[in-house]
Structure formats: structure tokens, C-alpha cells
Amino acid sequence: SQFASRYQTEVLIVGAGFAGIYLLHKLRGSGFQCLVLEATDSLGGTWNCNRYPGSRVDTNVPLYQLSIPEVWATWTWTERFPDRDELSRYFEHVDSVLNVKKDVLFNSKVVSAQYLVDASMWTVRISDGTSFTSRFLLLATGFASKPYIPEWAASDTFRGTTCHSACWPSSGVDLVGKRVAVIGTGATGVQMAQEISRQASHLYVFQRTPNLCLPMRQRKLDYAEQDAARADLPRLFKHRLTTTAGYADEPAKRSIFSDSPEERTAFFERLWDEGGFKFWTANYQDVLLDEEANRMAYDFWAGQTRARVADAQKRDMLAPVDPPHGWGCRRPCLESDYYEQLSKPHVSVIDVSRAPIVALTEDGLRTSDGAVYEVDVVGLATGFDALTGSMLDMGLASTSGAPLAEKWSNGVASYLGAALAGYPNLFYVFAAHGPTASNGPSCIELQSDWIVHVMVKMRRDGIESLEPTVEAERDWTSLLHSVYQASLVSNTRSWYDGSNVPTKRMEPLIFFGGFPLYRELCYNALDENFKGFNIRYRHDKQEG
């Protein structure tokens, strides 16, 4: 409204999860004045929103956390794979150490943002009408913050409770003794089903594609163990940025075919026993490049998994003899006793690959073959409009006023998965076109450190604004596409390519060239006086 107050700051950061907090901390350290706008009422981003039963990170600590010394030196984890509540406490700890909240405006969802060239300012509005101006706009909105809800689920005739995983009420949903449906078996659906099976009188798991889950091997961590390892953390945090995807491991530097069958089995077993993502991140180098190598990894996975499901019908649904898609070409997830829980008689696994769910009725769900499932609660673990959804959902407009959706109508374009032609002084992390299929905190720090370097150099060189050229975007986008095509990942449909949302264009949305190449390209652009960017110097502006 015309009465709304206006605030001015040097940098506006959107989102107060790992990315927003890290950017705030680094920019404060470099003398920038920042304000963070956060749509919800708490810190933590994805860990604030994802309150569904069983919500837990599946990258282990100490790998999964911020590298900020004041924070890790004073924090102790209780489990190797912390749950959502522990991660929430971690964010409170981050705040107590860094005093984050004093620079965060909560309940402030951005609804419009445009760069005004004449004023060299971003003008940003939030849902209550308040306007802000800033020199820089940094998006730290996460890759999975806009839920995807199938059309049929929007019906309001259902008499029971229906919730998407990312909108689960903080007061919880009473599931004890209830008939519950979980829709989807991505990382979220697996965690939900594993947990809800312990409470529900009957659980129906609606599976379209089986998840090729890996054993988590959860364990408790104690203070003494972590304290002893603390001195090594700076090395670990540095190391994770040099690996392909920000984990501690790299694929083994040998071909699967150079080992004998016995050696291969021994190697697979070792990775399997270590648990977590090892079987994915530390496997033979050709598993994601060569179909035969990939099949060997799948066969080992299926052998281990099928042995855990006694019921023949469920066994073929959960871990089929033939792979539903390339092994590791979708992000696997971690489980503790998913297969044992789903084997129980009060759990039904419904294959909806051929007969999809078509309606949410008064009493439950109906599939296209006419079958009806009466339930009290429907948990939607149907995923997200990932990577692009949150960027498109905040009213971003180019300097000429065109919405971002227009720019991307023939395909997503970006420069380095961090900047956009038509959007001067805007940078973003951990979303479209970034090396986002990776350990979140690692990717966020890699990209944010570069952005901070860019902003410091701009200040030093008297640069008013930077905006990528259309040619630089074209080159980056075509490199991203060709790297993607070289991987077996390109043969598999998932949120990596937008195909999980029916209305979305199918195209590679992630840079699969690995952190080292990504870093090299980013720092080359920086070192070569902002190669790929149009530069507007402050004196240009003064001279008109």
C-alpha cells in the first residue's frame, strides 16, 4: 500500500536456512549491511518446514553442517544422522553464537522484486505490502521449498486429514490406530512410511517407482568421540569442497571391470557395511557412466534388499529383479528398517505405476482400475517443484518488467547456476543449474564463498552492477546440457530434470560436472575481470 514503510539496505537475502545464514555471516564479515527476509517464522529452511514423521537428514555429521568455527566448536551431535528436531536445535545454537535473528525479518514472503536500472536498486515487496530497496538481491530459497501436490489431492471432499510432507503441522497429526496412506516413495515417503508403520493400524504405501534405498547404519555419537575428532574438522570442511559432490568420498579410481568378481563383491560389501551414501559416492568410477557396470551395482543392491522381504509379491515390488532405472541415477535415500516395516501384515504396498490414483474421495483414495482405499489420513510425499519452483514463486521480474517465467519459457538459462541475464546484482545458490545434486552445506558454501568474493571485488573496483551476458548464459547452459548427457543420469526421469511435475518442461536442471570444474569456471570468471558479465562502473553511472 502507499502507506507501507520502506526499508533500505545494501544486501537483501531471501531465506534463512543454511544458505541465508551462511551468506549473512560471510557478508557481515566483509563489512556488508544485510537483511534477511524469511517466509516462515523460524530459522532452518527445509528443517523448519519438513516436520513429517521420520524427518531426518541422510548425509551424516560431521559432514552435514556449516564450517563456521564458532558454531562447530561449541556444538555436539547426538546421532550420526540427526533428526529434524535436532537440526532445529542446531539452528537455535547457530543463532545463539552468531546472533542471526537480529538481521532476519520473519513471516516475510517476497512477492515481487525488480531491479531499477536508473536508481541502481532492487525494489522488493513482501506479502504484507512492505517494500525494501537494496543494491544486491541474494536468493537462498532452497532447491525444494515449493511443494508439488497432484491435482486430485486438491479436492476438499475428503473427511479425513491430508497433509503434504513439507506442510505437516507442528502440533503433529494423530496417527495412532489410524488407517494411513503415504503417497510417494522418494526420500520423504520412505522416511514417512518407515515411521508411520509403527503407529498406524493399517498403512497403505502408494508406490509408483521403487526407491533404491541404502542402509543408514544409524548410531549414537558421544561427546568424547566428537571432541577428539574436532581438531580435524577444518581439514574435512576444506576437503569436502574438493570432491565431486561435497561428500567426504570420491568414486574409486578404477573400473569395475579391473576387479575380479570376488574382489568386486568384497568391495561392494565393504561399502554396504559402512552404510550411508558410501555405496553411491565411493563406488567404482564407471557405475554412473557404463550400463553394464551400473547393472552390477544394481544386482548387488537387489540381492541384499530382496533377502529382507519375505513376501514374494512385496519383494518384487520393492526390489524387482530388473532395475526400474539406472542404479544411483536418482538420488537414493537411507533407511534403517524400511523393508522390515513394509514386510509387516498391517502394511500394504500398492503399485500405482499402471493404475494411478485418480481421486481423493470422501473416504479415501481411488485408483484408475476402480480400487478404493478407505483411510483416515493421507500423507503426501509427492515431492517438490524443485530447483526452479521457489525462484519462480517470488514475483521476480527482469529490468524490463518481464516475469522470470517468460525468460525461461523456452528453457531454463543461467550463468554458472548463480546469476541471470536481465537481473543485475542478483545472485543465488543451491537451485537451478547449480551443482545442486550434492551435500547441501558444501554446495552452499562453495557457491556463497564465490559470491562474496565477487561482491568484495566489485566494491574494490568501483563496480555498480554486474549482469551476465546472454552469450555467457547460452554457453553455460549448453555446457550443462552436454555434461548431463554424458552421464547415465540423463536416461532417468526425476526432479533432476523437472519431469516429476507434469506441467514442467523436461530439461537438465543440475550441473553434473562436479565441484572442481564448477569452482574452476567460477573463479576463472572472477579472475578474468568478470568474464561473462556486463560491467557497469560507478563513474559510468555518474557520467550518465
User: 337-369 b/e with 16+ CB inside 10 Å = b?
Assistant: ebbebbbeeebebbbbeeeebbebbebbbbbee
d(CA 138, CA 127): 18
The span from the first CA to the last CA of the chain, in angstroms, equals 32
Q: Smallest gap, in angstroms, from Cβ of residue 396 to ligand NA7?
A: 23
Taken in order 304, 336, 73, 443, the sign of the CA dihedral is positive
CB-nearer residue toward ligand NA7: 422 or 435: 435
CB-nearer residue toward ligand NA7: 502 or 544: 502
CB-nearer residue toward ligand NA7: 246 or 424: 246
CB-nearer residue toward ligand NA7: 66 or 183: 183
Closest CA to 73 of 51, 98, 56, 49: 98
CB-nearer residue toward ligand NA7: 71 or 360: 360
Q: Smallest gap, in angstroms, from Cβ of residue 415 to ligand NA7?
A: 25
Closest CA to 137 of 46, 10, 24: 10
Q: Is 16 helix (H, G, I), strand (E, B) or coil?
A: coil
d(CA 184, CA 373): 15
Q: Diameter of the chain by CA atoms?
A: 78
Q: Is 226 helix (H, G, I), strand (E, B) or coil?
A: helix
Q: Smallest gap, in angstroms, from Cβ of residue 144 to ligand NA7?
A: 5
CB-nearer residue toward ligand NA7: 477 or 500: 500
CB-nearer residue toward ligand NA7: 357 or 521: 357
Length of the chain counted residue by residue: 544
Q: Smallest gap, in angstroms, from Cβ of residue 150 to ligand NA7?
A: 4
Q: Smallest gap, in angstroms, from Cβ of residue 157 to ligand NA7?
A: 17
CB-nearer residue toward ligand NA7: 306 or 331: 331
d(CA 63, CA 470): 37
Give the residue nearest to ligand NA7 (CB). Answer: 186
State the amino acid at position 200 in one-letter form: A
Angle at the Cα of 268 (from 262 to 271), degrees rounded to 5? 140
Q: Smallest gap, in angstroms, from Cβ of residue 499 to ligand NA7?
A: 8
Binding site for ligand NA7 (CB under 6 A): 144, 150, 165, 183-189, 206, 208-209, 331, 352, 356-357, 381-384, 495, 500
